[in-house]
Amino acid sequence: MGLLNFIIKRLLLMLLVLFGVLCIVFVIANIIPADPIGALLGGNAPPEVVDQYRHKLGLDKPLAQRFVDYVAGVLRWDLGVSLRTNNPVTEDIKKFFPATLELAIVATLISVSLGIWLGTASAVNRNKGIDHFARIFSILGVSMPVFWTGLLLLLVFYYKLEWLPGPGRLDIFIFPPKTVTGLILIDSIIEGNWTAFWNGLQHLIMPAFVLGYGATASIARITRASMLDCLKQDYVRTAKAKGLSKRLVIRRHALRNALIPTVTIIGLTFGSLLEGAVLTETVFSWPGLGRYITNGYLVLDYPAVMGGTLYIALIYSIANLIVDILYAFLDPRMRV
């Protein structure tokens, strides 16, 4: 199978997955025994007003007709109107997604750099102190809940030690930069607002670490296992026999081959961090898409919840597709 055919096949599978997510999200939103109109207007609203809003939102139509209308709207990139903000969901996504994207990018950088370093050091120093530390670190990373880690870091580094700022993207007395990309760090660099840049970077440290902690543990464990396997290979022994330094053998020969399975995890990690930002954004009051979805769920704002979920599923699928293409490009056997 050629690379082009492989990409086409993966694209079709991605569309199938997205349609499945759309169906599941729509069914769940419509079978939950809760009335979004009642939550919006309150229990004392006149029946005629309730019926008027129900007709306006199309909730008086049969379920099958609502599904067809929703699919048609999604194809036009019309995800409906948020009941809470009264704005088109697509506009709300454009407003809130940059904060989530910035958080996920920094969390990915932390998890990848720290995870690869820990995994490599753990494999090279097997059964030594750094190896035991990496194991404990990884176990805690995959076992501790995100909300618990976030609250613990806030208690220690914000409340007790006062080393890092609290929730939010910027302190209240810091003027945000002019919005260009929606990313505080990038916009601050463009504007030359270094005060906002450093303050935004400090606000990013805790939520990004909490979000990427679990991914760091996974990357470290996979890198360690792959490095241990590569260090046993003949080409590594040959490189050592040639008189190359240990650092050069590890970096140029063992690590480059050990990172092949890690590439897949890194790509999927970015997608999973986007969808896993809900709890992190809630704990740190981060004005991102995850918190937008959570607030929508609390007030039964189904268009916001459904639209935000579909958007995250789209980003995750695209990240997965890119990883598959890169992997097929690096290893032609994956195209079969």
Above 80 in pLDDT, residue 84?
A: yes
Q: Specify the pLDDT at position 163.
A: 92
How high does pLDDT run on average in the chain?
84
Q: Considering only CA atoms, which of 177, 209, 201, 203 is closest in space to residue 190?
A: 177
Alpha-carbon 292 to chain mean position:
14
Burial of 325 (0-12, 13-18, 19+ CB in 10 A): middle
Handedness of CA 321, 146, 225, 240 (dihedral sign): positive
What integer is the mean pLDDT of 150-169?
91
What are 226-252's pLDDT values in tens digits? 888 888 877 777 777 777 777 777 777
Kindly state the tokens that stand for 34. 């809760």
Above 80 in pLDDT, residue 80?
A: yes
Above 90 in pLDDT, residue 45?
A: no
Q: Specify the pLDDT at position 229.
A: 86
Query: Is 99 in contact with 169 (CB distance < 8 Å)?
Result: yes
What is the residue extent of each domain of the chain? Answer: 3-75, 94-335
Handedness of CA 247, 252, 253, 254 (dihedral sign): positive
Q: Does domain 94-335 have CATH number 1.10.3720.10?
A: yes
* pTM, rounded to two decimals: 0.83
What integer is the mean pLDDT of 28-37?
78
Local confidence band at 263 (pLDDT 50, 70, 90 cut-offs): confident
Local confidence band at 35 (pLDDT 50, 70, 90 cut-offs): confident
Q: Specify the pLDDT at position 201.
A: 93
